[in-house]
Amino acid sequence: MRLLHTMLRVNNLEESLKFYCDFLGMKLLRQKDYPGGEFTLAFVGYGDESEQTAIELTYNWGVDRYELGNAYGHIAIGVDDIHGTCEKIKSMGGKVTREPGPMKHGSTVIAFVEDPNGYKVELIQSKD
């Protein structure tokens, strides 16, 4: 068994694709409209789905807002240069909600950014 994907409902597919692909460097792996169900699925990730976990962005046509609730935590992504990544995201108009620094009660360097829908993405500095 292996983890295949995580699904996030998004209120604007183009904004979300820009965030995950342009800001975070993922690739659009596949996208399909389902007119009968009035939704579109777009899968993004860093590699082929046969070997890598993906994120499924689900856009329900005509829905422009979701309540995130308080159960969702975050997606975590390992990065080689956390400071450079945060600066790039900010320069592109993205929202860094926690600047890079050691996590509380630990030494791992982390930062948090927010996607256009309000979902949190944790960036974790890769260890050399």
Q: Which residues are catalytic?
A: 122
Closest CA to 60 of 37, 27, 31: 37
Burial class from Cβ neighbours inside 10 Å (0-12, 13-18, 19+) for residue 96 reads middle
**Are the beta carbons of 9 and 64 closer than 8 angstroms?**
no
**How does strand 54-60 pair with strand 5-9?**
parallel
Amino acid at 23: F
Q: How many residues does the chain have?
A: 128
**Are the beta carbons of 94 and 19 closer than 8 angstroms?**
yes
Rounded CA-CA distance 51/113 in Å is 26
